[in-house]
Every structure is written in structure tokens, then in C-alpha cells.
Structure 1
Amino acid sequence: MLTTCFFVAAALAARVHSHRFDPSAYAAEDVIERDFAIIGGGAAGTYAAISLADQNKTFTVVEVTDRLGGHTRTFRDEATGASIDIGVQLHENIPVVRDFFKRLNSPLAPFQPADFGNPKYYDFTKKVALTNYTRPTIEGDYVAMLSKYPFLDDLNNLPDNVPKELLLTWPEFAAKQNLSSGSAEAGLWWPATPGNPLDATALAIFNDGNHVELAEYTGAAVRSATHYNSQIYDNALAELKEHVLLKSSIIAAQRGSSRKDGVRLVANTPSGRKLIKAKQLIIAMPPVLDNAKYFALDQKERSILSKLSGKHYYAGVMNNTGLEAGVAYTNVGQNTPHHVASLPGVVEIAGSASPGYFFYWYNSVDPQTQEEIEEATRSTIKWLQSESGAKAVEPTFQDFADYSPFHLSPPTSDIANGWYGKMKGLQGYRNTWYISSLFVVGSTQIWNNTRNILPEIIDAARC
């Protein structure tokens, strides 16, 4: 009797499950049939959508937040017109960047180091001003070492047999390769490096501080001429609005093993559930297991994606700080190895082009709440006020962003066992493609990689 009940329940569950993918179960306006379903509207997803639109392909973008742009985030004070970029700051001055900004009617301007302010260094944990500290610069031996491993710019090209020295922690690698003290320290200074950099592998440091980043921070960089990097995404949304589902998420999926099967997705949206029928699925969100588990992963996919995780990183905007304009208050460890800042804590508090406004970056090994982060930032500002003799005023927090999971990667042991090759092998598997920041960092490289793989994705949809 129990066995019979079990099979009846299982059959009913399967029937209910399959019913979700039956177009007849939905109102006609809730069934969306397209060439492509794009999950995630950040740098990769938006670039893919605009590119597909320009080629007269049909698509739907599903984005969990109320905006496009992902890690590109700009605070806009409508009352004053102030614009403060708190996420992506720079792009390399190359055609893919210039063309994308031009396509979306957003002017560019050369990056000036003064945009971030004149740096002043402090140990925020010990509450000490480091007046004699000079930030090191990348030296020739770093560049030579990076050039020795050309695949580090883009981990799509990482060999299965990763050189063992690249899987050492950065301090171990620097010591073994006899890197100069300047290069050893400067290698840990890339902006927005999450987690404890002393635990990061040389592979991660070089992939973060690659040739593109070097070019950007040695003068070949551009940014929005209006300090409004999000303008390209606002303009993209205005153009693509009827093809974008904001504040929406996928709750179930059916993906065929052959191209003719395509994919079916059930999306939760503000106006109810919708069924999306597409020829190909483009994953442009962080494909960590918590996000990807709704896509009916098989054992092969789960074994690969379950290894992936990101780190915790946060940002915000504030005014009424009492701090000196045109200064970047930077956290440096007074006596730590390579002067790495202690965690958790504020990484930097930097002025902006809008008078009175500062943005900050905050790094932590463990997740923290907005309340905890803003309280810690407030405490740091109060100390800086007293240290600099500024008026003791209460800062006003205007915006907050949680960029977690940030800088996705698998464990070092899995990298050694060929994880990146396995991940690359998932491209096109079960009509699914991955175009987020798994193999590269920064919007410049994400756009370039997306442009390079789109022809293959489009070709798959023709079958």
C-alpha cells in the first residue's frame, strides 16, 4: 500500500512539474517565444542583448534587480545633479569600449588620476596616519612575469596542467620568483581585490592585475565624460524595455540535450509567472549553485558549478563627511606583510567629481550587513575627522551596493585538476552558454569575450 501511494504521489508530482512548461497552462500574453533567453542584465547580459538586437535576433533578458548594469552602479542625486560611480570606474581605451559607449549615446573622456583624488595613507585599524608611506608601482619584473604566462589575461586559455607555481599564494610566489619588494607589494594593490589578498594565488593576482588593468592604470583608460558610467545601461534599458523582465527570476527550467529541443523557463515576474520558450539559454549571471540550481542541472553541470564561489565586497556613497575634498583616504597596514589592510574594513574613501560626495569600498572575508558596514565606515570617518582636524559632523549615507559573490573562482585544488577546462567544456552543453566574469575581470574584457563567443551562440540557434 505504501509503495502504491509513493508511485501515485511521484506521478502526480511529475505531472504538476511538467504542467509548468505547458504553454496551454498560461494566458497567451504570458508565453514568450524568442531565439535567446538571457539571464542577468549586467555587463555581459546587456552587451549580448544590444548585439543581438543589432542583428535582428529576438531575446528576453531576465534581471533580478530593478535595473541593468550589474557591478556598474552610479548614485544620482536628482536634486543636485550629482553623479558618483561606486562600482566600475574605468575601461581600457580600445574599440570594443568606444563602440559600445557610442552605440548607447554616452560620451567618453580620458581618465585622470586626479579623478580619484590625491592619496593619503592611514592604517584604519590601528588609527595611525602613515605620512611617510609611498605607494609602490608595478615594476619591470612583474610585467615580465605576467608576460611569461600569456594565458593569465583570459582564463579561457588556461592550460589543463596549470604551472604549479601559479597556485602558490602570492607571497609564496613572490618569494620563490625573487620579485622586487615593489612589485610584490604592488601586485596586491589592484582596486577592488576582494578577500584576504595574502591568501590569493598568483594565478588570481595576475588575472586581476593583467595587461588590460596595467594599461588602464598607466594611462590608456577612459570613463564616462559625465562621471555617469551607468548611462550606457540606462540607455540600453530605454531601448530594450519591452524585451527586459526586471525584478524577475527563473524558478524552473527544462533544457533539452539536442539543439532542436531548446529550453523552457518559468519566470517569476512582478506581473505573475511567465513561460519563456527559447532556442538557446545565455547565463550572464554569476552561475554559483544558489543561482544555477533552478536550471535543472544534471550531474555533470552540478559537479562543476558546485565548486564555484565568490567573495564579499561592498560599496557606498555618502556626503556631509567633513573630509577634505580631492583626497583619497586609503587603508594601508602599518606593519602587515606587504602593507595589506586588515579585514574587515574600509578599503578606501575617495572624493568624487561632485563636491561634497565621497564613495567608499569595503572588504570582508565573511558576509556583513549594510548596518554593520555603514557603522564601521562611520567610525572610520569620525576618526579621520579628528585626525585631520575637520569639523565633527555626522555623515549621511546615500547609497549602498553589495557586490557579492565577487571574483568567482573554484578552490585551488580544483584549478589544478582542470576546472577551467571543464567549465569551458560546458559552453553550448544542453543549449546553455556562460558569458559572465568567470574567465576575465572587468567590463572591458567581459564585452570583448561576449563579442567573441556570440557568433557561436547565434549559430547554435539556427539548428
Structure 2
Amino acid sequence: MLQNSIYISIGVGLLTNTVVSSVFDTKNFAKENIITRDVAVVGGGASGTYAAINLRELGTSVVVVEKENVLGGHTNTYTDPTTGITVDYGVQAYLNSTITLDFFAHFNVPVVGYSASPVSIEPADFKTGETVKFNPSEDLKPWAQQLAKYPWLDATWDIPQPVPADLLLPFGEFIVKYNLTNLAYYIYFSASGLSNPLQELTINVMKMVDQAYVDESKGGGLGTANHDNSEIYVKALAELGSSALLSSTVIATSRLVNNSGVRLVVKTPSGCKLIEAKKLLITIPPTLGNMKPFALNVQETNIFSQFTYMGYYTILLNNTGLPSGYEWINANDSSSTYNIPDLPGACQIIETRISGMFYAWYRSPLNMTQQEVEASTIAAIQNLQKAGNYTATTPTVVEYRSHTPFKLRVSAEAISNGFYEELYALQGKRSTWYTGAAMVSHNAGVIWNFTHALLPDLVG
């Protein structure tokens, strides 16, 4: 019998070969619950969906395993049941690039130049609701000049050794060194999910506010003509059909040591299914907790255990008592921190296309419960009500989404010691490949380019 390393998330850990054989024995599964494919894709966000659709176009059979009940990952869209008006309260814009245009064209989804809603922006301390008066620069040209020193950062974590020292500086020190302190707040605001940017490594900030973001901020972004960023994922789901397993999770994995394929036991709403595939593409955040069901060896465990992450959440609310035509951004009145607020907390509260409805983005250095995030956000809104003499209400949460774990990163020491070289060296080992935000960027267009480059390995 071929040796396998097995982890059962509902069991006790490493199992005997006898139990292993039983777990993956096809006799234990009805014929309709055995799925045979060329590639199994775990995660149906931007990278997983892109990979699955394009692999099918190349004649490769796929199955997608997604824990949520929709595809799309960080893309969140709400449809008003009365008017049919849609609101994107997750991903807002896309990189204007050939790969983006081609992917949207595949689904016949029209795109237009992205522009933010024309609202008045009001800085306020969300802990008090009081207005904060300051004028941060939004001119990213000096920042782009720094990015230009490291052009490889746009598309990879393949970092030259020795690592340039500036990249491992805390961002707070970097902006002082290069006289960029007047940009500190705007870069914090633009670096989605980062909760303590002044302490964050500069390289991590640069990966969030990268050249693609700079281009989008200058009017180079794309949005959907229908104001529905989820449309491509709805159409992708229709195209994948029964090859997309929603509300499903991998609970056991066998990855044969001789690269002869993988077997996954997947818990679905209709019971457990056995997937037998030649290759595995993992697109989910590779935290140690997420990766435990994938039969990790010692090398993989050592790599994935080094990742830490942040909490990031989106909330859609009505009955806010806030006036129309505004977006509130969280700030403090301390020049020593460049008006960057103390977090966790909501970083912005934004009016939507639906009258009376707002959405909030919430950042935290650690994972938080839904109850904690909602209570904190409602308290911030009520502080704004009181300070602004607006109507006093108790806001109602319409929808809530957790994007945690967000922005996986490692220590400066790990980067200096070649962490990302070791991470990338896992590609193709044990019939497994990796893509997604942790492998390259949180920008969908950049992720699609990275994923596209993997397709020949997955097809071959």
C-alpha cells in the first residue's frame, strides 16, 4: 500500500493505514458521491473561480469546493428585494487589464470605468463621533516612486536576497525616512484590512497599496455596468453546475508521495463525497488551521505555521439615522499617529445606492466575533448620531460577512530567511499547487495573472 499522510478534521489526527484505507475506500461511497476530475480546486473566490473556468476552457475537468453558499470570496453584493437595486459592499473595483477584460467578457458582463459615489467625506473619531479636521495628501506620486524601486513586487513574493533593508522597516519608520508622513493616513486608508499600519512591515503595506492600486486610484479601475460585482460569479456557478460544491469543506485528504494524485473527502449539505483528482489547487488562505485537513508533512507544517493574519469584516446596515450624501472615515486628532485611528474598529461608514442603507468596513489586528463587530459598529454610528445631532436610532444589520483570515504575513526574520522562496517551492509537490491572495496580492487582477501562469502546470 502506498504510504499516505492523513489528517481527519473530525477525528483525532494521524491514523493507521487500516483506517486510512477505510476513509477513502470507494465501497463506502455511493456511485453518485464519487467525483473523478483532473483538478480539484479548493476555494471558490477570485482565484479559484478563475482557475476553474479557464481550466474547463482548456479541456481539463474540475470540481470546486467552496465553504460559503456562493462563489466570489471577498465579493459581497446585496440585492434589495423590493427594488432590485444592487449594492457591492465587498470588492469595489478591478484592475483595468487584458486579463480582467477577458474574464468579464467570457460571461458577457459589461464593464465601465470605476468611479466612487459622489459623497462628502467627513473625518470623525468613531469613539466620540466628533469631527476631526485634517488634510491628508492623496498624491501617491512619491509613493509610486518608492514602489518603482521594486518592480517585481507587482507580481510576486519572489524576493531577491538579501532582502532590501527598507522593505523590512516598520512603515512608520519608512515614511519618516523618505518624508512621506503627509501620505500616512491616505496609505493606511487605502491598505484594506491593515489595522496597525505604522507597525506593519513596509513590504506588506506595499503589497496592499501596490502599483495596481495606484493606477486604479488615478481612474484606471473597472466596475460593472450593472453595479453587481457578483454577476460573474453567479454566471460562473451556472457554468460549473454540479462541479461546484457549495457550503462544503474538505475533512480528509490523501496526497500520494509519488505525485500520483489526491483524494479528498468533502462534507457537503447532501452528505460526504469522495473526490479523486490528478492534481489539487488550493486557493484558500493557507493558515495552519485551514490547512490541517490536507495531510500536511513536516515541511508544509513549518511553513504554514508562520503565517499570522488580521480580521476584516463588512457590514450592511439600515435605520442608521445618518443623513444622505456622506461617507464617514475613522480618524483621531493625534498628529503623532498622523490621524490614523486606534483599531479594532470600523474604518469607514458609507452611504449606498439604496436610500437609508449604509455599509461599513471593519478592521482588527485579531479575529473577532460577529457580535463584537456588529456591536462596535453600531456604537460608532450612534456616536456619530449624537455628535452630529442626527436622529437617534438603533441601526439594524442587514448583512454581515467575515473576510478573516485577511492579509496573511510573516515576520521580518522569516522573510530574510527565505520564507517566500520556501513557500513557492511547494508548487507542484505532492500533486498540489497554490494560488490566492497569500501567494501574490489582494488585487483580483494580479491574482488572475498569477493563477493564469499556473494553468499549464495544472493542465499538463
TM bucket (normalised to shorter chain) is over 0.9
In 1: Cα distance, 2:167 partner to 2:131 partner = 35
Partner of 2:158: 157
In 1: Cα distance, 2:426 partner to 2:368 partner = 33
Partner of 1:330: 329
In 1: Cα distance, 2:414 partner to 2:87 partner = 39
In 1: Cα distance, 2:193 partner to 2:242 partner = 36
More displaced stretch, 154-163 vs 285-294: 154-163
Partner of 2:310: 311
Does 1:58 pair with 2:97? no
Partner of 2:7: none
Q: CA deviation at 1:190?
A: 1.1
Does 1:358 pair with 2:358? yes
SS in 2 for 1:407: strand
Amino acid at match of 1:183: L
In 2: Cα distance, 1:77 partner to 1:12 partner = 49
Amino acid at match of 1:286: P
Partner of 1:213: 213
Does 1:79 pair with 2:82? yes
In 1: Cα distance, 2:69 partner to 2:185 partner = 39
In 1: Cα distance, 2:359 partner to 2:67 partner = 25
Partner of 1:125: 127
Amino acid at match of 2:155: D
The answer to whether the 8 A contact 2:136-2:183 is kept is no
Partner of 1:301: 300
Partner of 1:255: 255
**Correspondence 1:12-411 to 2 at 5 A:** 13-114=16-117, 117-130=119-132, 132-176=133-177, 178-259=178-259, 261-335=260-334, 336-411=336-411
More displaced stretch, 308-317 vs 79-88: 79-88
Partner of 1:4: none
Partner of 2:442: 441
SS in 2 for 1:75: strand
Partner of 2:6: none
In 2: Cα distance, 1:52 partner to 1:312 partner = 32
The answer to whether the 8 A contact 1:382-1:392 is kept is yes
Q: CA deviation at 1:197?
A: 1.1
The answer to whether the 8 A contact 1:304-1:422 is kept is yes
Amino acid at match of 2:116: P
Aligned length: 446
Q: CA deviation at 1:13?
A: 3.7
In 2: Cα distance, 1:441 partner to 1:123 partner = 28
Distance 1:162 1:146, change over 3 A: same
Q: CA deviation at 1:434?
A: 0.3
In 2: Cα distance, 1:283 partner to 1:119 partner = 39
Q: CA deviation at 1:88?
A: 0.7
Q: CA deviation at 1:161?
A: 2.1
Q: CA deviation at 1:200?
A: 0.7
Distance 1:422 1:138, change over 3 A: farther
More displaced stretch, 429-438 vs 349-358: 349-358
In 1: Cα distance, 2:269 partner to 2:322 partner = 42
Q: CA deviation at 1:25?
A: 2.6
SS in 2 for 1:234: helix
The answer to whether the 8 A contact 2:40-2:63 is kept is yes
In 2: Cα distance, 1:294 partner to 1:231 partner = 31
The answer to whether the 8 A contact 2:39-2:458 is kept is no
Q: CA deviation at 1:11?
A: 12
Q: CA deviation at 1:409?
A: 1.3
* 1:239-280 superposed Cα distances (whole Å, 9 cap, x missing partner): 212101111111111112334x11111111112211111000
SS in 2 for 1:72: coil
Distance 1:11 1:380, change over 3 A: closer
Q: Where does structure 1 lack aligned partners over 5 or more consecutive residues?
A: 1-9
SS in 2 for 1:446: helix
Which consecutive aligned stretches of 4+ in structure 1 deviate over 6 angstroms post-superposition? none
Amino acid at match of 1:45: G
The answer to whether the 8 A contact 1:155-1:420 is kept is no
TM-score, length basis structure 2: 0.93
Q: CA deviation at 1:357?
A: 1.5
Partner of 2:454: 453
**Correspondence 1:414-429 to 2 at 5 A:** 414-429=414-429
TM-score, length basis structure 1: 0.92
In 1: Cα distance, 2:428 partner to 2:257 partner = 10
Q: CA deviation at 1:65?
A: 1.3
Distance 1:199 1:11, change over 3 A: closer
In 1: Cα distance, 2:26 partner to 2:403 partner = 36
In 1: Cα distance, 2:51 partner to 2:425 partner = 20
Distance 1:29 1:22, change over 3 A: same
In 1: Cα distance, 2:367 partner to 2:290 partner = 17
* 1:138-189 superposed Cα distances (whole Å, 9 cap, x missing partner): 343321111011122233332242112211100111223x323323443322
The answer to whether the 8 A contact 1:69-1:233 is kept is yes
Root-mean-square deviation over aligned CA pairs:
1.8
The answer to whether the 8 A contact 2:44-2:72 is kept is yes
Amino acid at match of 1:452: A
Q: CA deviation at 1:110?
A: 1.4
Distance 1:139 1:232, change over 3 A: closer
Partner of 2:8: none
More displaced stretch, 388-397 vs 42-51: 388-397
SS in 2 for 1:34: strand
The answer to whether the 8 A contact 1:160-1:421 is kept is no
Percent identity of paired positions between Structure 1 and Structure 2: 36
Q: CA deviation at 1:218?
A: 1.1
Amino acid at match of 1:58: S
More displaced stretch, 307-316 vs 387-396: 387-396
